[in-house]
Structure 1
């Protein structure tokens, strides 16, 4: 059973998941610090290109199975139109003003 998005502990992570699931690119972009970075399966990627391809153009969706590290680490069933569904892990670095400066994802 997945955790409702509204019940996720960290406000920035909660907003990130909500923006992904709503396919709301402007809300997503507003959550990130200038110069935010990300990695997929341990390799740094271009954040704009990756999110276009893996989230927004392929209708990505996150079903959160569990959270740890104060809500900044998630176990997620992630699906999109390109790859179908897979178990993934997501970790977030949130800066002092509550915006995400880095996220890392990969298969769990």
Structure 2
């Protein structure tokens, strides 16, 4: 596993740290105003998805590996709804904010 504070990209590092800390404010502050995301190839509304998959379900990211300068992660993701699954995450960042992220089973 890669500790969140060892992740290469500072924006992705902050994203993982916010998720794992259950810090909604830090998570929201990282998102660009028009941020988008997809889950298993289907676009979702970020706030609704985060509420269901992260906040109300105690989501947690254990990073297995990173690539593409830290913008692509393989993560053992767990939450109270789905249990644990290996997931892939890709991030598009701009000026320290996430403009898009994509996740899905790896």
**What TM-score, normalized by structure 2, do the two folds share?**
0.99
Q: Distance in 2 between matches of 1:30 and 1:24?
A: 10
Within-5 A mapping of 1:1-108: 2-95=1-94, 97-108=95-106
User: How far apart, in 2, do the equivalents of 1:33 and 1:69 lie?
Assistant: 21
Query: Deviations for 1:40-96, whole angstroms, at most 9, x for unmatched residues?
Result: 00000011100000000000000000000000000000000000000000000001x
The alpha-carbon deviation at position 8 of structure 1 amounts to 0.1
What's the RMSD between the two structures over aligned residues? 0.4
Offset, 1:35:
1.0
Which runs of 5 or more structure 2 residues have no equivalent in the other structure?
Answer: none
Give every structure 1 segment of 4 or more consecutive aligned residues whose post-TM-superposition deviation is greater than 2 Å.
none
Between Structure 1 and Structure 2, how many residues are aligned? 106
SS at match of 1:29: helix
TM-score of the superposition, structure 1-length normalised? 0.97
